[in-house]
Each structure stands twice: as structure tokens, then as C-alpha cells.
Structure 1
Amino acid sequence: MRSPLALLVVAVTALIAPTAPALLAPAHASAPPAVTAVGSAAVAATGPVPGPAPGPASTRLGPGGTRCDRTRVETFGPASVTGAIVGAAVHEGHAYVVTRGQKPPVLAAVDLATRKVVRSVTLPDGPAAGAPEGGWAVTVSGGKVYVGTYPVPDLYSYDPATGEVRHLRSLGRNGGFVWSLATAPDGKIYAGTYPDGRVWEYDPATSAVRDFGVLAAGERYVRAVAADATHVYAGLLDKGKLVAIDRASGTVRELAQGPTGIGVVTEHGDRVLAMSGSTLLDVRKDGTDLRRVAAVQMDGLAVAADGSVYGTSRPDGAVHRYRPGDTGVVKVAEPPSLGDETRRLWFDGPATLVGFSGSGGMWRLDVPSGRSDFTDLIEAGLPAGPERPQSMLLVPGRAVYIGGHFSMDVRDLRTGEHRRFRVPGEPKDLVRRGDKIYAAIYPSGQILEIDLRTDEQRSLGYLGHGQQRPWDLEYDPVRDKLLVASAPLGANLDGALSIVDPDTGETDVHVGVLPGQSLMSLSLDARRGVVYLGGDVLGGGGTPPVRTSASMAAFDLRERKLLWQVDPVPGHRTFQDVKVHDGLLYGLYKRDSGAWIALDLATRTIRHQGKLAGYGELSVHRGRVFASVFFGGGVAYELGAQARRLADGLGDEWYTNPQLHFEPGSWRAWAMAGRDLARIDLDPRCPPLTVPKPGG
């Protein structure tokens, strides 16, 4: 069995420049430029350069003789390269998988016998606002493959016989998802969508569309659907309900109420099975004989010929079995892809279970022996492409680390070498402690240690307590602890501050440290032993908030208790980021048109406030506070009594917060220009910089 937690160097030769001795040197002349350099407002060099170009002979000077016409932007090709997938379906000896994060998404056909990608196509942008970046939902009807996309909830078809791809219609507006698709025996297709929480019917024969309306008041997610000759079965994520919809009349009937959201549904014979957290719901299709089975949280279900149900557990990815009538589930195999999410399970014969992993892999498990093997889909021929990065970390003079979806891309600053290895999830934030990097991982909520020298990984364990969304991570060098701000997953409000020992993994989790709020951010004053917190009244989503305003707070790390809590701006519900500096606590609000504040810590009153183009992340460098934000094309600011624009045109291509990582003693910051890794001169003494669009 191949462990995805071991170092995996992936060759992506079509996208990544070959190794060169110069600092992030350019690709070969026959390849697209890997490194470009531009001046303050326009392209200053038409070809790739290995490093900063010298300034022109006649140089405009800023205050104090600062040179501002030198090369101020360098780009180094895609920051994070992915072959991650979301949706998958099986038809006539082939698996059809759809990528996530790439624009446009790739639909690839994998020969199940050879485990090679034999064909791939892209899904074109539809007429609605926004563009697809992946397809969570895939099904087959009448020999054609159907894909439901996000963040535009559109429906596409692909004909394997002709290679034709068609955009069929939209099932909502930009920002929505087609989470699930299922095909009934007569060929009609059923889609579950977000954020309207609806089930739709699409008839491939006539192109007619039917909307079954609101399934439960306040529901946003129909996360899973299954269909038979008479009914559609839908799992509701917010309300935790399993419902049956009469396909003829549209009547909705509740079959079961789960303890939490329902994310997986399948039907077999006269029964429907669904996962609600760690409870397996097994119920007759008429709603009788409901069995609540103690299980583990599973993200995929497949029914064997004998009626046994197999599923893969989160967060580890192990395989479990349930036999109808059992009181629990039994583990039958170790994880074929450790820590991975499963997008599709399917039986290839009576004893071979096939799984498709979210990281971009395919595995086969011989159920009787428990032996499995794993195929990386990039190595099998899946076209890789740039994705939205999750996180970034600069190790000065050594490397830039970029967290992606179940992967880490590393750019060596000494050699120009690029490498990529797997990690068990999305690194939402990264920090350094000596020769180790620590990553806060979603969706497991674990803290991962990575050795700078070898890329070897060690798990420090899981935050637990429902804290699966670790948003912010800092290292406290005085107490030698990791600090984690997190939110719950699902219909819960209370987040947590976790204090983790990086040697032992011992974790002190303060759930509900801000009652009725989750935590999006924290900022450490190591000398005083105080960590400042930024709250979010929406929590994990799916349950009504009990507060109307997000809090800032101070937590004493010695006594491990809350010192104070204030709501600086009434009605503003989410702090996206907070940062302490020079007696002020700066905060960026998320859903409030780019509002920012600077709170005086002595008086706990607002000293400064204003509006930015959007929300993002704060950083402190050389005694100044900087912000990089989404929207407005991607903007960098310096914050003081007012906000001053330093750069425009960075793009809106981060998955999490836009970030700036400054080189020590310099105004150059590692950041993103579109989806490319970039190094940008943000000298506050120079005129505002415009970052050209790729190819501009």
C-alpha cells in the first residue's frame, strides 16, 4: 500500500519550469515564461528574467532618495498546482472524474483496466455571471455524463461517443453549488443545490426542468440525493433531515431526523441509508423500521451484491462495513489513501472496492485480504493546473511553501527547484518553529508537523470538540506552544482557542471562549502573554446566530482565561483577521464592505476606522501594518490613521485570505498575482503599483 503521507514528488512538466541554479530561474525558452518582471505600472521586460532587473539609468526617486522605477513585480508561474477532484461516476469500464480549483474544470475519462487517463475535456464557461471551478456532482444517463458545477450551479453534459460538451442550463446564481446528482431508472436526473436547499429534476429527453420547492424552512444544502422509480431521497445538511420526494406529485415526506447534517445518501432494495455525523440511518422507503446505527463519520457509501454496505471514514480514510441488522460497523481495511476524502465508492465485481480520492487519486481494495493499491491521477495523465492557494509561508533565504488542496508546493529560493508532496487535507495556515513547519488542516482539524529538511510529516492529533475548521495559527516562542483559532463544522456556533504542545501534541481546547461565536483569527503579544481574538457570530453555519455583533477579546495565556471582550462596531458580524501592533488591535470585517478598525487597547475604543476594497489578511512589517484584500481586483494597503493603497491588480485568486509575506529587512513581499507566485515591492515611499494581468 502506498502512503500519501510519505514524500511524493510529482512531475508536472507541462506546468513547472525545470530545475535551474539561479533563483527561481526561468523556464526553457521553448516553454511559456516561468518568471517575468514588471515595473511600477507597466511591463518592464518582455522576456523571463532570473531575478530583479537593474533599474534604468534615469531613475525616479521617492522620498529620501528611494528608487521607485526599478523592477517591482516578479512572477514565477503557478503557485499551487493541483490534480484534485470532486465528482466521479463510473460507466462502461471508465471512471469520469472532475477537477476542483482549476479554471476551467477538467472532465477526465480513466480506463479502469489500465488506470490511465484516456481522454480529457474542459467545461466551458456558461452564460451566467461567474465561472465554474469544479464539479462536485457527476452522474450518467443514456450513455452521457452529466456534471453539476460550482461556484456557478450549472449543468453540463458530455458525450463519450463524440466528445461533445454542452452547457445545458443554470440552476441558480453565481455563488451556488450543484452538490449532488442522481439518475432514476427512467433516465431523469435529480440535482441537489445550494444555497436554495432545493431538488431539481432535469429530463434529458425534453430538456424540461422542474423545481420541487423548499424542502425545509431555512435549509440551504441538499448535500446528497438518490433516486428510484418512484421517489427521490434527499439529505439536508443544515436541518439533518432525510426526506423522500414523490416524483409524480412532488409531495415531500420526512423519513428520518438525524442528530446532525446528512451528507451521504444511497438506496438499495426497499431501504435508504444515510450518514448523519457518526450515525448511520437505515430506514425502509415508506419511513418505517428506522434503525439508528452507531458508526463512524463516513463520506462515501457503496452497497455490495450481498447487501452489505461499505463506507470510508473521516478523518482517516479507513474502510468499514455494515450488514443490515447489525448494531454497529466493523473496520475491514486500513486507509487506502490516508486522511483523504472519498468522492465515490463503487464495486468492481463482488470483492473489489474502488474509491476515488479528493486529493486526485484512485484506489482498489481487495476486501477479503484488505490489500489496496493507489494511483495518482496526475501520474496517470490527468491534466494538472493552477488552483487557488490555501496558505503561504516564507522561510527566508530558503523556500516558499504554498498550501493547496491535499498538497504542498515548495519553491526552493537557493536552487530554483520546485517540488510537490501530499498532505492529508487543506493547510489553512502555516507557521514555522525551528526546522519544523506546522499546518492547521481542514477538514480533519488536525495539526500537522512537516520537517523542513526532509518533508517528513507527523500528526500532532486532532483538535476534536467539533473543531474541524482551523482558520488561524500562530507560534508562541515564549511558552513554546501553538495557538489555533477554529470554527465548528456544521450547525454549531461555538468555536475554540486551542493551545497545542508541538512536542507532545497535548492540546488544551477552550470551546466557546467567545460564547455564541466561532474564531476566525488571533494575534499574539508574546511578551505580555496575551492572545487577541476575532469572533464570528455565524459559527459553522446552518443555525441562527444568537448575537448580532462580532467581538474582539483578550485571553491570558498564563492564567488561561478571558480578560475582556468588546463588540467594537454594532451589527458587524465577522472579523476576518485581527493583528496587534503598538498598542492598537487592528481588525478587518468580512461581510461588511471592507470595514476596518484600529482599537485602542488602553481604552478599548476605536482610534481609527475606514473602508477597504474588501476583506483579507493583516501583517506587520518594519513597524507598519499592511492589509491584502479580495475584491477591487486584489489590493494591498498600508493602514495608519487612514488606509493608503500600495498596489492594485493582485487578483482575487486566493481560496482563503490574500496574504503578504515580507522578506526581512526589505519591502519585497511574496504574494500572488492572479494564480502565479509573485514577489512584489511594496515600498510605502513609492507611488502605488499596478500589477499587470497575466500576459499583459
Structure 2
Amino acid sequence: MRTVPQRLGLVPILIALALVLGTAPASAEPVRPGPAAELPARFAEPENLGPLIRSVAVFDSAYGVENGRDVLYTTVTGSPATFQVIDLDSHTLLRTIPLPGAADSWSHAVDHDGSVIISGGGHLFRYQPSDATVRDLGRAPGASVLYGVSPDGAGNVYAGTYPDGKVIKYDSAAGTFTDFGSVVPGQDYVRGLAYHRGTVYAGVGITGSLWSIDPGTGAKTEIPLPARPEFDPARPPSIYSLNTAGDLLFVQLSDVNLLLIYDTVAGAWLDTAVSQYRGLYTSPERDGKTFLVAGGRLRSFDLATHELVDTGIAFGTYLRHSAWVDVSATNPELPGLSLVTVQYGGAVSFLNPQTGRVISKPSILEGSPITLQTLERGPDDRLYASGYPGGTGARFDPEGGGLTNFALGQSEGMATLGDSLYLGNYPGAIMHELDTTKPLGAGTNPRQAHDIGDDQDRPFAITAGDGKLFVGTIPTYGALGGAVTIKDGAVWSTYRNVVPGQSVMSLAYRDGKLYGSTTVWGGLGIEPTETVARVFVFDVATRTVEKIITPELPGAVTAKAIGALSFGPDGLLWGAAWGTIFALDPATLEVVRSREIVATDWNFNHLWRPIQLRWAADGLLYTTLGGNLTVVEPRSLKSRTLAATALMTLAANGDVYYADGPDLIRIRDITAPDAPTVSAPARPGPSADDTPEVSVRSEAGALIQLWNGDQEVGRDTAGSDGAATVVAGPLADGTYRLRVTATDAAGNRSQPADVPLIVVR
């Protein structure tokens, strides 16, 4: 049952801030930055176990003719992305070409000479069908992603950018880029772009606006959006895509699923608008009409009369660009012209107006390794991972090496509650439950458990305690104010703006208190209003904020994001602010230890992903501090960097696993525990019986073995506090010089420790 989220009102929080807001003082003598010392731990060489996830994910397509045959061009997301060509007549894959340095492509366009312009990250590539080669044209200035690639037919190519919401031009003859600058300062996206009859049209987001740009002078002129009941005119939704058919410009607005239509000749908006618009583009013109998907149906739009007609063809997904092709010679079930498009998973769909049928052919695209987005150990001690983009997850067995892939969206965070692994998916902050005791199954395991809503989008922070699940979230595009969501039994409750204007980045729970940390950044497309990250304490019983503080972190400048909280075996609340590790007294939230290990200037566009803190059985802390896999000795804060990564976890046997793009890397635990410390018997002497007890302290979870020479005479397992009591024997009468060893989960055995002389008689 879906429960209505409860909200923690902003007014009571603001009233409470006068009482709870404070600054936690640093300890009198914090551990200062200094050269990292060598740790006693030894590490094996990293082993690359290969990619966990290979999948097909495509965002866009283009169409052309090679050797007289219709072909589809698309790019499969991966590491690296791969440009692929399909023969539409025979449904065969003609070629696959890597795009070095690119992870995805949001846009393709066929140029006037038949070559294909491909966006790949912030680069443009050109594919030449004549020799089947791809050439990197270079990176657009300041761009991480390029959208809406649009040639002008005279050798120039225009595109929109993220970040900074710019329009750029590539001059094919000169091989140079021109930067027209941000269309609207402060807006990060130009996702929609179209060149038409000497004018560049640019659609901006996050706050939507439409602009015309003179490519000769760079002059920008806003085209005000029409007043519509579907959105607030003071804050229009982002423009997601643009395309032209005839002299009409089709403008897709995100969130409201609305298609607006602008007459570029008349310079006016049509009264006609299409609701329930699926996107992403309308079709090429055919017989004076363009075709589009709205309300789950293919519809025709007459470019002269503006009449929208249902074709009767049901189609529930997007047109990721499309083309009219005749493949009837090899596909008689598709007579005449069919509208062809590609689906996200690579299936090729033909929509045939003559028969009213849709025929989708299965994907023949080669899957690419997908960059890992999340990596966690589940309650069954197997490792689970999600990928970017979402669609496929992975389960890996560290013991046997078995790998299983399953359907999974883009999970931002994962945490264990009982036998289940809870997964927080973007977009929309949708929580899923994966029951590790049951078989995996699409739609059933994992299953959707809850829709957080409340303008929340990315559930990065997830933890559990006392049978409850706690989720911290980043809000949606253009919004500030994260939330804490609590699952208590079957009831989910959400509390927005626990720290006003900030997002929740990490959570830790102990004894009825939820400890959280924040990042000043909200969703993309909005500047933070706060400048300093906070740590807060939330009383789970009363559902109130008890305290909000700003930790004083020597050497950390002003932390804009506190990306990790975790209780250590020493009882302290440990945290990380990018490159600084610190520990708080949980009672006072006073900083008692801190060290800046990685220098931080806080010059980030945004910072959401939590820094991972994982405690090994030997008491060492493994973390992704400052984007590096770093092991820290918590008393001295000595550290050692093992690799560059943002994702890591520890297996049950102590081996370290981390992500390198799509690959899973393992560092085996080859560190033997310290020799056990014997506490009883305290001194040599007689034993009252033939089964004397030996009490020791060692690494938590270690196998403790008692030896008489080479013969094992007793064993026990150290508890979570490292304590164990080994019962020896029965032993025959005599004098015994016993020794005791500790063996960790990875099979590393310590040096023996001597037990005081025991006399059995």
C-alpha cells in the first residue's frame, strides 16, 4: 500500500534552528595533516575481474543509405561507447566502431555529404560510410555533453551543451569550434537545438526558454513561450528536444509531456498543442504530414491544416529519431513505406501505416561494458552493482566467481535490511526491494517498494537499524531541499528540508538517533543558497531534528559537502568531507580527530555521491576519500592510497573490491592478524581439570586455534569484540606448552602466541 508521505514543515524546523543550530568545536589537539606513513597491512596486486555489466542502451539514432541499402546508425552507451550500423533490409549488424573517450551519445545527424555527425560526451565525431571510419573532430569548449547535433548543409555543425547551456558551432573546413556562450546565464542545459533556414533555435533548461540565434553575429533573441494551463509561466519546464518539419518547429517540454509548435515563418505559436506527448522527435515529413507518438498512439499532424489524427497504431515508447524506409522486398509483412525507429534496448521497430501493425525486431547490437554506478555487499555476502545508464544490474559471488545479470534501473544507493537489499533508483527516487532468498525475476525481484515523491530524485544515502530503513535524497532538477524517508514496517514517511535548502548525502543510525550529513547542492540547474554543509541528529521516535552543527575541520577550508557518516568499532561517529577524514564524539558532536589527506578546494559543479566508509575486521577503515581508495588506521590516521575510485566495498573474507569504470577490481586480503593476546591463564600453573580454558583477544571473526606442537587441541571464533575462549582437550596428565593462532576469513594465519605453562594432573 502506498502511504501519503508526511512532511516535516519548514516553519517548525526554522523555529527549532534557534535552539539546535551550532558549531561543533574541534578538539584541542587534532591530528594534523602530515606525510602518510606505511601501514602494517599488506595488499596483493589488484586483479581485474572484467566488466560486471554489458548491456545495450541507446539514446538516439540516424538513418542513411549505404551501397543502395537502408541503414540505421546508433551508438551504444558503454566504456567506451560504440558506434554501430545496422542493415535494415536484412537486419544484420554491419559494423561496430569504438568512440574513444566517449561514454554515450545523445545525438546523431546525417550531413549533406552522407557522413554522420555523432556527439560523444563533449566531443564530435564524424563517420564516413565510404571507408567505414570514424574520426574524432575534437572537444567542444567546456562541454561535458553535446545535444541536438544539427548540420546546416554548408559544412557547419551546431550543438547545445551541458554544462553552462551554450551553443557551439563546428566549422568542418577549418576544423575549429566557435563558442556562442551561455544562452541564459545560470541555466546549464541546451538539450534542444535545431538549425532551420539560416537560424539556430535553442531550447534551454532547467527553467525552460526558447531562443533564436543568428549564426553570423551570435545575436540571441528570446521567443517567449505561450501561456498554457499545463505549466507555471513564471517557471516553465525545461525544453527537452527540438526538431523541424516543413517550416514548423516542434518543441518538447519535459515533466508536463507537452509538445508546442512554432511557425518559423509567421513567427508565432500555433494554437494547437499536443498533450501526452511521448517524444523525442516527430518524424520526417511524408505527404505533407509529420508523425508523432502521443497517448500511446502514433498520430499524424498535417503541416498545412494542423489537424492531428490518430493512425490507430499503438506504440508506447519514443521516436529516438526515425525515417521512412521501404524494406518490403525482404520483409513482405511490411508493404510500402514504414516508419523505423530504435528502442532504448536496441530493438528496431517498424510502424507500418498500410497494415496498422508494429513489427519490432530484437536487438542485434553489441552490448558494451557499462560504467558501474553503485557497488555494495548484500545480506547474502554477494556483491551487487548497478550501472550508468540503468537497465541492467549485476550480482557477483566472491566465493565462486559466479556472475548474474538482472533487470535494474540506475540505483544510486543500496543498503541491507534483513534478508533484503533495498535499492534507491533515479529518476524519481523510486525504492526497490531485492529479496536475496528468492530467485531474481524482472519486475518481481527486485520489485518496486515505494515512490518517495516530494520532488526527490536521487536516493544516494541509505542505511538501516532497529528494523527500520532510512533513505536520504537529492531533490529533482531545479529544486533545493533534500529529504529523509523512513520505512517502519509497511509505513513510509518522508520529511523534507530536515536541513533547510540542503540535500541529504549520508546517514548513520544508532540507539534511536539518525545522524545525517548534507551537501549544499540540490538538483541540477539551480545554484545553492547555502555555503556550508551540516551534520544533524534526527530523533526517530519523535521525528524531530535535535541538533544541527557545522564541524570544524582543520585544513578542510569550508566543507560544502559532508559525504560520509559511519560508526566505528571505537564508538566514534566517523565522517568524510571529500579529502578530510574526521571523527565526532556522538554525544557532543565535537570533532575529536581529523586529518586532511587529499587537499580540497571545493570547486565542484555539484557533489552528491557519498564517500564510502567500510570497517574491516582488523579495525582498519577503507574509504573512497577524495576519489581514492584509501585505507586509514583510525588511531594514528596514517593512510595509504591503493587506487583511484569512487566505489568500493569489502567482501565477507576481507578482500577489497572496487570499480574501475565498468570493471570490478579485487585486492586480496593477504594481511595476517596480529598474534592473539592471551588473558587467561594469566600465569603458569596447574589446571583443575583436563579441559582447561584459554581466553584470548584477536581480530573480530577470526578463527582461534590452540596448538600442542602441530596438533590442534581446541578452537573458537572471536566475537565482534575480538574476544574468544578456547576449551582445550581433553588433555592427558602432563605439562603443556600450548600456543594459540588467529586465522582471518581470507585464510591468513597469525604468528603463534605462547600460552602460560599448563600442568594437567
Shorter-chain TM-score tier:
0.7 to 0.9
SS in 2 for 1:118: strand
2:459 equivalent to 1:470: yes
In structure 1, the residue matched to 2:252 is 274
Which amino acid in 1 is paired with 2:576? Answer: L
Tell whether 2:251 aligns with 1:251: no
**Separation in structure 2 between the aligned mates of residue 296 and residue 495 of structure 1, nearest angstrom:** 29
Q: In structure 2, which of residues 625, 639, 642 is the aligned counterpart of residue 645 of structure 1?
A: 639
1:147 partnered with 2:114: no
Per the alignment, residue 742 of structure 2 pairs with: none
User: Is the 8 Å Cα contact of residues 471 and 520 (structure 1) preserved in structure 2?
Assistant: yes
Q: Deviations over 1:144-196 (max 9, x none)?
A: 0112222xx222111012112222232124x7222331223555321112223
Give the equivalent residue in structure 2 for 1:448. Answer: 432
Distance 1:529 1:330 in 2: 59
The residue identity in structure 2 corresponding to 1:288 is: A
Q: 1:308 to 1:409 in 2, by over 3 A?
A: same
- Counterpart of 2:183 (choices 200, 215, 240) is 215
C-alpha displacement of 1:119: 0.6
CA shift, 1:583, in A, is: 4.5
Q: How far does residue 83 in structure 1 lie from its aligned partner after superposition?
A: 3.1
| Change in 2 beyond 3 A, CA 1:145/1:413 | same
User: 1:576: Cα distance to partner?
Assistant: 2.4
1:586 and 2:574 matched = yes
Match of 1:237 among 201, 205, 210: 205
CA offset digits 1:503-557 (Å, max 9, x no partner):
x5x54222222211112222222xx222222211121132222111011112222
Matching residue within 486, 502, 507 for 1:522: 507
- What amino acid is aligned across from residue 85 of structure 1 in structure 2? V
Q: TM-score when scaled to structure 1?
A: 0.74
Q: 1:613 to 1:358 in 2, by over 3 A?
A: farther
Deviation at residue 374 of structure 1 after TM alignment: 5.2
CA–CA distance in structure 2, aligned partners of residues 573 and 178 of structure 1: 28
Largest Rg, 1 or 2:
2
Q: Which residue of 1 aligns with 2:292?
A: 310
Spell out the pairing of 1:544-623 with structure 2 (5 A cutoff).
Answer: 544-569=527-552, 571-581=558-568, 582-590=570-578, 594-613=579-598, 616-622=611-617
State whether residues 255 and 283 of structure 1, in contact with CA within 8 Å, keep that contact through their aligned partners in structure 2. Answer: no
Deviations along 1:620-665, one digit per CA (max 9) or x if unpaired, are: 3448462432767x3322252453334513x43xxxx4222331xx
- TM-score, L = length of structure 2: 0.68
1:162 correspondence with 2:151: no
> Structure 1 residues 636 and 110, CA, compared in 2 at 3 Å: closer, same or farther?
same
Change in Cα spacing, 1:410 to 1:605, as seen in structure 2 (3 Å) is same
In the alignment, residue 105 of structure 2 is paired with which amino acid?
G
Q: Name whichever of 299-308 and 548-557 sits farther off.
A: 299-308
Is 1:394 matched with 2:363? no
Judge which range, 507-516 or 141-150, deviates more.
507-516
The one-character-per-residue Cα deviations of 1:344-367 (angstroms, maximum 9, x if unpaired) are 232546995544344555444568
- Residue 500 of structure 1, CA deviation: 3.9
Instruction: State the alpha-carbon separation in 1 of the partners of residues 614 and 203 from structure 2.
Output: 41
Letter matched to residue 144 of structure 1 = S
Distance of aligned partners of 1:584 and 1:267 in 2 relative to their CA distance in 1, 3 Å threshold: farther
- Determine if the alignment matches structure 1 residue 496 to structure 2 residue 483: yes
3-state DSSP class of the match of 1:101?
A: coil
Query: Could you list the runs of 5+ residues in structure 1 that have no partner in the other structure?
Result: 1-61, 125-130, 337-341, 688-696
Q: 1:160 to 1:681 in 2, by over 3 A?
A: same
Change (3 A) 1:197 1:577: same
CA contact (8 A) 2:581 2:625 kept: no
Name the counterpart of 1:100.
Answer: 77
Distance 1:182 1:472, change over 3 A: same
Q: Answer yes or no: is 1:428 the counterpart of 2:412.
A: yes
Contact 1:256 1:281 in 2 (8 A): no
Instruction: Give the C-alpha shift of residue 293 in structure 1.
Output: 5.2
Identity of aligned residues (%): 24
Letter in 1 for 2:370: E
C-alpha distance in 2, partners of 1:471/1:144?
41
Q: Following TM superposition, by how much is the alpha carbon of 1:372 offset from its aligned partner in structure 2, in angstroms?
A: 5.2
Q: CA 1:294–1:640 in 2, change beyond 3 Å: closer, same or farther? A: farther
Which one-letter code corresponds to 2:126 in the other structure?
S
Verify the 8 A CA contact 2:313 2:351 in the aligned structure 1: no
Indicate which of 67, 77, 100 corresponds to 2:50.
77
Aligned residue identity for 1:640: P
Distance in 2 between residues matched to 1:638 and 1:331, nearest whole Å = 64
Given the alignment, which residue of 116, 124, 130 partners 2:92? 116
Amino acid at match of 2:148: S
| 3-state SS of paired residue (1:465) | coil
Aligned-partner SS, 2:500: coil
Offset of 1:109 from its aligned partner? 0.7
1:260 aligns with 2:237: yes
Instruction: Please give the root-mean-square deviation of Cα atoms over the aligned residues, in Å.
Output: 3.7
Change in CA separation of 1:612 and 1:248 when aligned onto 2, cut-off 3 Å: same
Q: Is the 8 Å Cα contact of residues 63 and 323 (structure 2) preserved in structure 1?
A: no
CA positional deviation for 1:256: 3.1
SS at match of 1:459: strand
Q: CA deviation at 1:399?
A: 3.1
Measured in 2, the distance between the counterparts of 1:576 and 1:422 equals 29
| Distance of 1:496 and 1:436 partners within structure 2 | 23
Matched, 1:137 2:120: no
Pick closer, same or farther for the CA change 1:469–1:367 going to 2, 3 Å. Answer: farther
Separation in 2 of the partners of 1:586 and 1:445?
27
Q: The residue matched to 2:509 in structure 1 has which SS?
A: strand
Deviations 1:113-164 (A, max 9, x none): 343321111224xxxxxx33333332210200112222xx222111012112
- Check if 1:300 corresponds to 2:289: no
Q: Is the alpha carbon distance of 1:524 and 1:363 closer, same or farther for their aligned partners in structure 2, counting shifts above 3 Å?
A: farther
Counterpart check, 1:356 vs 2:342: yes
2:439 is aligned with 1:439: no
Shift of 1:596: 2.9
What does the per-residue CA deviation read over 1:378-407, in whole Å, with 9 as the maximum and x for residues that have no partner?
A: xx141x343321112324666322212311
Q: Distance in 2 between matches of 1:647 and 1:417?
A: 29
Count of residue pairs the alignment pairs up: 582
